Structure 1
Amino acid sequence: MDSTGVPASVWLLTVLLLTVMVAVDLGLHVRRPHCPTLRESAIWSAGYVGIALVFGLAVLAYAGPASAAAFYAGYVTEKALSVDNLFVFLVIVAAFRVPREHQQKVLLYGVVLALVVRTGFIFLGVALIERFSWTFYVFGLALLLTAGKSLRPPAKTSSSRPDAATHTPRTARWARRLLPDMAEYDGERLVTRRLGRWQVTPLLAVLVAIGATDLLFALDSIPAIFGLTQNVYIVFTATAFSLLGLRQLYFLLDGLLERLAYLAYGLAAILGFIGIKLMLHALHENTVPFINDGQPVPVHEVGTGTSLLVILGILTVTVVASLTSRRARSLGALATAERQVRAYLDPAYTKDPAERERLLEQIRAQAGIVRSTPSGARALDRASDELHAVLSDTVSRP
């Protein structure tokens, strides 16, 4: 499937499909503020993944196995990178104390904003690639540097992830400085009138922080997918389908994110692999004068099918290792429990009694997991007074 040969009608139908998906999500799912259940999030997540899989089959029928493999490889890669992005979104939501009932709509707006930002980056990347062949060297080097940075030892906290209470993302701090005069939350309003004047609400600051965060994430994700295919249609659709459904995945993985202790290492391996693949492609298409006198270098390139298998293999090993490591499981559960305790004790978090009861049950369940290993039990002993208070029922229930 040559991207220049994709009919305008196909582009139009694709954009229409994506628009309908967002409209259905906004009109049927998040129109009424509520706390999503695990079952609800699982059904919607499965639906979005199913649509992406069917779309890949349509690509297979229309353009052949090579294009379909490129779409699936791009989709899986972008989805995996999005899971890591979810943790930062979680920290931003916690930093601004977004009420649980309104988190869905905030994340949906963030996803739409991310789709707009990444679409701009995609067409910018296409323009650079078509004009400057050395762009592949830049993309490859950027991914290798990001992979190396991801392998640095994490900050010393109770888990391999930063703590939401003490590690506010720079984008959230920047949003607070940009919008210093904020009112309290006023339902789903982005601006509200207080004391005779208009003021922004924290929801607007959250959107600014999420948008700025995704701008930074795009610097990694867009070069990564260009390392798998340079077909602009495949790049766009794989990116779009990976972002849609990200909101449901956020609630589905809530309580599990901290337990993916080795995810950063798996993503580093994927980015490193794609970075090397980009470098090989750059050498194969070389026109840089000081490399082989400006002539292409005869190197072996990794096929798209092989790339898909490598990416799936790395993700499988990463997830299995994270979920089966008793130490990572217990320390991740402690980090989840600490985060959930802060939400449980925050009266602005939710007014839904069922959601508060769900949180309390999860806190107790996480504590049981923590006690399963000696290191986890010792860490639990040193945990916050608030966690111990909730576990011993010394904090009155609402």
Structure 2
Amino acid sequence: MIVSPLIWGITIVVILGLLAFDYFFHIRKAHIPSLREAAVWSSIYVGLALVFGVIVWIFGGATMGGEYFAGYITEKALSVDNLFVFLVIMASFKVPREDQQKVLLFGIVFALIARTGFIFAGAALINTWSWMFYIFGIILLVTAGNLLKKEDSGGDDADNFIIRLAKRFLHTSEHYDGDKLFTVVNGKKALTPMLLVMVAIGGTDLLFALDSIPAIFGLTQNVFIVFTATAFSLMGLRQLYFLLDGLLDRLIYLSYGLAAILAFIGVKLVLHALHENNLPFINGGEHVPVVEISTGLSLTVIIGVLAVTVIGSLVSNSGKAQTVLNNARRHAESYLELEYTADMAERERVYNLLMDEEKAIAVMETKYRDKHPESEAILEQMAEAHRQHTEHLAR
């Protein structure tokens, strides 16, 4: 199916309209979204993506529709994985809770711009050199291998090269000024940490694009499908962040599931490259007769792997323990960090969550608690939060 310029134009206007709506009706006034607000808008954005997929299926055919859904589900799963890193970055910068929405929307817009550039660049490379499928396949196989390695969160914090340069050569402030990007310190204009965290988020978005774009090109080479599946997977990511807050750490097997999916797509790309082969040192430059993986099988594998991964994470006792301990650490740090929020009701909410987690830790089997490398430090943070809360009530 050839997509006309009119359809392209309408699609782009709709996506830009959704981003503008998000900003003017949700982000412009800093606030902490309720669970209900996050759930409702997450459902709306997922619903829009599914409706669009059905329209593609009806007018573009089953193959095109299947490619869209396979691409959307894969990109959505990768986006959820990206939220882990966003969480670490915002914790590193101690972004006030009520201002996190603005950072996330910037990250979504930057990701959309960066990935659009990668999409058209990737399409041009593939159309010019079919052997690029080999390169994309190898990238995904290497990425899958890296996902299986033990993660080192030290590389995801705010102290990266770009931020160190910015702090060294630019006048930066130590404190936030609401959600402003610039402030005045001692009569001089200075960058706020809000601008620096946006730079950090933007830098990580570029790295994410290097993984996600080859992945979706492994499922379809239709540029319209690649673009729309990527765009709709990013829509609603901000609301999903607040909806899954506290549950992200529960998905302890997500990285394994994503590794399996990326490896599967990597193999699919290599097989397709062999089928289209024109490299003289492989089979004399002739096509290699190999089995190609269909769109239907790809969609089945992706959904199946994600289902097993998510269900396995949710029912795992180890996963439940990890969730409680990680949430306890995050909430203790938030409560102890005075810059976390100026909203006292939010601080009380965080403290109550911390108390619920303390009760869960008290009845937790020791073997699961001790698996967490920072369990003792977390218990100490909780004790300090208790002490400060008692002092606050005594005033």
Tell me the secondary structure at the aligned position of residue 199 of structure 1: strand
Tell me the secondary structure at the aligned position of residue 189 of structure 2: strand
Matches of 1:383 and 1:92 in 2, distance apart?
19
Return the TM-score normalized by structure 2.
0.93
1:385 aligns with 2:376: no
Any residues of structure 2 matched to 1:186-201 within 5 Å, and which? 186-201=177-192
Deviations 1:320-356 (A, max 9, x none): 1111110221023201210111111111111222322
Check conservation: 2:250, 2:319, Cα contact below 8 A. yes
Partner of 1:152: 149
For residues 381 and 209 of structure 1, do their structure 2 counterparts lie closer, same or farther at Cα, with a shift above 3 Å needed?
A: closer
Any residues of structure 2 matched to 1:84-95 within 5 Å, and which? 84-95=81-92
Aligned-pair Cα RMSD in Å:
1.7
Q: Residue 217 of structure 1 aligns to which amino acid in structure 2?
A: F
Partner of 2:163: 176
Offset, 1:177 = 1.3
For residues 383 and 187 of structure 1, do their structure 2 counterparts lie closer, same or farther at Cα, with a shift above 3 Å needed?
A: closer
For residues 382 and 182 of structure 1, do their structure 2 counterparts lie closer, same or farther at Cα, with a shift above 3 Å needed?
A: closer
Check conservation: 2:317, 2:368, Cα contact below 8 A. no
Offset, 1:397 = 4.2
Q: Residue 249 of structure 2 aligns to which amino acid in structure 1?
A: E
1:136 aligns with 2:133: yes
Check conservation: 2:93, 2:158, Cα contact below 8 A. no
Q: Residue 50 of structure 1 aligns to which amino acid in structure 2?
A: G
Return the TM-score normalized by structure 1.
0.93
Matches of 1:227 and 1:19 in 2, distance apart?
26
1:62 aligns with 2:69: no
1:290 aligns with 2:281: yes
Offset, 1:307 = 0.6
Deviations 1:337-387 (A, max 9, x none): 101111111111112223222212222223333333222344655634121
Partner of 1:339: 330
Check conservation: 2:134, 2:269, Cα contact below 8 A. yes
Deviations 1:89-144 (A, max 9, x none): 01110111111111001110111011000000000000100111110000000100
Q: Residue 335 of structure 2 aligns to which amino acid in structure 1?
A: Y
Identity fraction in percent: 52
Tell me the secondary structure at the aligned position of residue 351 of structure 1: coil
Any residues of structure 2 matched to 1:212-231 within 5 Å, and which? 212-231=203-222
Partner of 2:246: 255
Structure 2 gap segments, 5+ residues each? none
Q: Residue 91 of structure 2 aligns to which amino acid in structure 1?
A: A
Which of the pair is proportionally richer in helix?
Answer: 2
Provide the aligned length of Structure 1 versus Structure 2: 385
Any residues of structure 2 matched to 1:105-124 within 5 Å, and which? 105-124=102-121
1:330 aligns with 2:295: no
Matches of 1:108 and 1:60 in 2, distance apart?
29
Partner of 2:226: 235
Structure 1 gap segments, 5+ residues each? 156-161
Partner of 1:267: 258
1:34 aligns with 2:21: no
Matches of 1:292 and 1:168 in 2, distance apart?
42
Check conservation: 2:328, 2:378, Cα contact below 8 A. no
Q: 1:368 aligns with which of 346, 351, 359?
A: 359
For residues 99 and 324 of structure 1, do their structure 2 counterparts lie closer, same or farther at Cα, with a shift above 3 Å needed?
A: same
